[in-house]
Amino acid sequence: MTSKKLAVLVAVIVAVLPPASLAQGTSGAQFLGVGIGARAAAMGGAYTSIVDDGTALHWNAAGLSRVDGHRLTLSHVSWFSDAQYQYASYAAPFGRDAGIGVALEQGGADPWDNTGAGSFETGDFAGVVGYGRRVSADVGVGADLKFLSSSLGDYGASSYAVDLGVLYRVNDDTNIGAAVRNLGPGLTFDSGTDPLPVTMTLGGSYRWHGVLLSMDLEKVNDLGATTRIGAEYAPVRYLALRGGWIGGDETALSGLTGGLGLNWNERWAVDYAYGSSDLGGTHQFALSAGLGGGGLVAPASVRDEENPPITAVPKSNLTVISELGREVMVEAITRMGLPEGSRLHIRQVDTHDASWLIKSIILEELTSRGHAVKAGLMAVSQDPEDAVVYEIAYRVVYCQTSLPRSWRAWVVGARRFERRTAVDIRFELSDQTKAIVWAGGVQRERREIIAGGRIGDLEAPGQAFASPETEHGGWDKIFEPVIVAGIVGGLIYLFYTSRSTD
């Protein structure tokens, strides 16, 4: 690269993109430091422990483990020096305990000439794919892979990067998150290579009397530590007010942030964020859509407002399963529309550990309504008065009690479990000619919070479907958050005390 071209290139970097040279250090691909998502930006970027949508591909890939339903996010950022950035992401559940996401980010500054050598265009692009998974009821992990491309005038470079993240749910109100972003080779422009802005964050959030408070500690490889603080409050259901603060000795982005969000039908949301700093103000708009699933709300496993009530005197697991089985059968009989006093034969399709219980419930419910019921092998009767008119074939799809999560109110507080009981049965009703006249499935589910000391009393010995396994509740469980935070905190400390790459 000639000295004249190098001077022009440096001038473009310094004057056209001041956030790159002043606010984010000397690494390349500085657009990766642009906070994505108006909700996150309004809260000062203190989002590592909160994210649960497609913007997890920017903040913390572990947030994909919390995605509930199909989530689409479109964001536009008006940055300094006429820089504009657009971001689009899509995230969805992937199986029962995981989520996947894809994102595209594109932007740059208008053509600019400060040397008389002609206008130079700048442009940046990132394509991201990610995966997150819950490894336990309270812990989620995630990773994403980025393809990066950047251009400055006639020069371009591309690279790739990897993000890693973890989320830990301490209790209903408290979450901890940590992430390492932009691990990968640098961008090589002609003969020079700029390292990527490797970023490590450790954050926590706490919901206090309806106010969500969050705080992140952030360290970029070539800058000092940055502190991010955010808050969110919803005075009414469809309005959220947000504020935040960014502080750091080596960042020109220090200043206050704020914004608001409007949502309706828990499906659509519009968010706005404003940030003030020494370089001026930034604006960000975002449109979010919940396409199916749970809409624009967090999953029930991390949502305290939809937690089921605590059951003071819980029923046994077998009793709850029986009650749900009866509810299923009552609805199925109603939907079948059986004539009064019908002669029936019931036939079990496949086997299940709870088949004996479901069979007894079906027999009791049908006979209590005056139907003549036969089970087992169906013998051919010569007496028309005794001939079977209908056959009910049934298959137990799901019949189980589980304990999907447990927690302590505080580190040494009383332990509690969420008990989830579900029954799902498929039916086929056929007539004497073997023609199917009705088919369908009926499901029932019940969720309760149970005190830890009562769990063992509710099990049914010898019946695995009514005796769910519980997590160990000893000191290893109590110190789990301490261990997670200690490991991540130690890594961040290494970055805090390392020399600058300048």
| CATH code for the domain defined by 317-471 | 3.30.160
- Inter-residue contact 206 to 232 (CB < 8 Å): no
For residue 216, what pLDDT is reported?
A: 93
SS3 486: helix
Q: Closest by alpha carbon to 336, among 213, 425, 265?
A: 425
Q: How confident is the model at residue 150 (pLDDT cuts 50, 70, 90)?
A: confident
Q: Is the pLDDT of residue 495 over 90?
A: no
Domain assignments of the chain as residue spans, ordered by start: 3-111+120-299, 317-471
For 46-57, write each residue's pLDDT tens digit.
999 999 888 999
SS3 386: helix
- Inter-residue contact 450 to 458 (CB < 8 Å): yes
Q: Among 139-143, 272-276, 327-331, 410-414, where is mean pLDDT lowest?
A: 410-414
Give all strands (DSSP E) within 61-173, no chain letters: 70-78, 84-93, 98-108, 122-134, 139-152, 155-169
For residue 469, what pLDDT is reported?
A: 78
- How far is residue 103's CA from residue 146's CA, in Å, rounded to a whole number? 9
In a 10 Å sphere around its CB, with 0-12 CB exposed, 13-18 middle and 19+ buried, how is residue 202 labelled? buried
Q: Which CATH class is domain 3-111+120-299?
A: mainly beta
Q: Is the pLDDT of residue 329 over 50?
A: yes
Q: How confident is the model at residue 244 (pLDDT cuts 50, 70, 90)?
A: very high
Angle of helix 355-367 relative to helix 317-336, nearest 10 degrees?
Answer: 50
- Both tokens of 34, joined, read 């642009």
For residue 154, what pLDDT is reported?
A: 67
For residue 206, what pLDDT is reported?
A: 92
Q: How confident is the model at residue 17 (pLDDT cuts 50, 70, 90)?
A: very low
Q: Is the pLDDT of residue 161 over 80?
A: yes
Residue type, 92: A
- Inter-residue contact 162 to 184 (CB < 8 Å): yes
CA angle 26, 29, 32 (to 5 degrees): 110
Q: Is the pLDDT of residue 501 over 70?
A: no
> Beta-carbon neighbour count of residue 95 at 10 Å?
8
Give 224 or 46, the one with higher predicted confidence. 46
**DSSP at 400:** E
Q: How confident is the model at residue 151 (pLDDT cuts 50, 70, 90)?
A: confident
For 420-460, write each residue's pLDDT tens digit.
999 999 999 998 888 999 999 999 999 988 887 788 888 88
Give 248 or 90, the one with higher predicted confidence. 90
For 27-50, write each residue's pLDDT tens digit.
555 666 677 889 999 999 999 999
Mean pLDDT of 217-237: 86
Mean pLDDT of 450-472: 82
DSSP 23-56: IS-S-S-GGGGSPPSHHHHHTTT--TTT--STTH
Q: How confident is the model at residue 487 (pLDDT cuts 50, 70, 90)?
A: low
Q: Is the pLDDT of residue 341 over 50?
A: yes
For 250-297, write each residue's pLDDT tens digit.
555 678 899 999 887 667 889 999 988 766 678 888 988 876 544 444
**DSSP at 194:** E
Residue type, 135: V
For residue 48, what pLDDT is reported?
A: 93
Q: Is the pLDDT of residue 352 over 50?
A: yes
Cβ-based neighbours of 497, under 8 Å, separated by 6 or more: none
For residue 396, what pLDDT is reported?
A: 94
Q: Closest by alpha carbon to 81, among 106, 61, 109, 42?
A: 109
> What is the arrangement of strands in the sheet containing 372-375, beginning at the earlier edge strand?
372-375, 343-348, 390-408, 415-430, 436-451
**Conformational region of residue 295, where left means phi above 0, alpha means psi within -120 to 50, and beta covers everything else:** left
- Both tokens of 337, joined, read 């529309």
Mean pLDDT of 359-379: 84
SS3 493: helix
- Inter-residue contact 215 to 239 (CB < 8 Å): no
Give 382 or 96, the one with higher predicted confidence. 96
Q: How confident is the model at residue 78 (pLDDT cuts 50, 70, 90)?
A: confident
- Inter-residue contact 9 to 157 (CB < 8 Å): no
**DSSP at 8:** H
For 98-120, write each residue's pLDDT tens digit.
899 999 988 776 655 545 555 55
- Inter-residue contact 478 to 186 (CB < 8 Å): no
Give 238 or 402, the one with higher predicted confidence. 402
- Inter-residue contact 176 to 201 (CB < 8 Å): no
Mean of all residue pLDDT scores within the chain: 78
